[in-house]
């Protein structure tokens, strides 16, 4: 086979130069520059904006939604009196670490609250962040003791902040 300029082929790895659009009719891509006539896609930035919006819309559609709004409150785990009664013996100590180890509560960032659902018949020594009023009463009526750990932490923070204010004035 004889090679000449008419039968030479470009190697597959070589890239063609980019078609320069909108450089007059002689270039082959003049006048409307391959964009057709009127409309959003014919304007500058039209196609890129549509792609971005379409991707964002798909992202919004595909993300799972939760009903209502996200609350900004604390992440407090809940334990009922019936659970404490079933899983502990008389005179046992109950703390947040023990509850997590036993698998009664998942790890809680902002503490654990004992609610008054169920009946408690055992004397328990409970050291947890929060208690409902009915839970306090039921535990004390059963002969148990209650100690809230959150009060100590809050009072320590108040003391530290108060001291730092006094130190800054001096």
Residues whose CB falls within 8 Å of the CB of residue 32, separated by 6 or more in sequence, listed in order: 42
Alpha helices in the chain (DSSP H): 46-62, 81-87, 96-102, 133-141, 149-169
Distances (CA, A) of 125 to 52, 102, 142: 59, 16, 11
Spatial CA neighbour of 114 closest among 127, 123, 101, 103: 127
Spatial CA neighbour of 131 closest among 103, 102, 111: 111
**What integer best gives the mean pLDDT of the chain?**
80
Q: What is the mean pLDDT of residues 6-19?
A: 79
Q: Three-state SS for 87?
A: helix
Please, which pLDDT band fits residue 71 given cuts at 50, 70 and 90?
A: low
Q: What is the mean pLDDT of residues 151-164?
A: 55
Please, which pLDDT band fits residue 156 given cuts at 50, 70 and 90?
A: low
Per-residue pLDDT tens over the stretch 85-136: 999 999 999 999 999 999 999 877 788 999 999 999 999 999 999 999 999 9
What dihedral do alpha carbons 75, 81, 82, 85 form, nearest 10°? 120
**In order of start, what are the domains of the chain with their CATH numbers?**
77-164 (3.100.10.10)
Edge-to-edge order in the sheet of strand 92-95: 92-95, 124-128, 145-148
Report field, pTM of the whole predicted structure over 0.95: no
């Amino acid at each position: 086979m004889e090679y000449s300029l008419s039968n030479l082929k470009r190697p597959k790895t070589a890239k063609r130069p980019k078609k320069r659009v909108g450089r007059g009719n002689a270039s082959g891509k003049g006048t409307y520059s391959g964009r057709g006539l009127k409309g959003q896609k014919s304007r500058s930035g039209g196609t890129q904006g549509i792609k971005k919006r379409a991707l964002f819309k798909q992202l919004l559609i595909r993300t799972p939604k939760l009903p209502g709004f996200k609350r900004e409150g604390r992440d407090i785990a809940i334990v009922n009196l019936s659970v404490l009664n079933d899983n502990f013996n008389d005179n046992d100590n109950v703390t947040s670490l023990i509850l997590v180890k036993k698998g009664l509560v998942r790890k809680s960032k902002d503490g654990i609250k004992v609610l008054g659902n169920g009946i408690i018949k055992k004397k328990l020594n409970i050291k947890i962040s929060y208690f409902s009023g009915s839970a306090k009463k039921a535990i004390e009526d059963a002969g148990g003791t209650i100690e809230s750990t959150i009060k100590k932490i809050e009072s320590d923070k108040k003391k530290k902040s108060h001291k730092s204010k006094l130190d800054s004035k001096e």
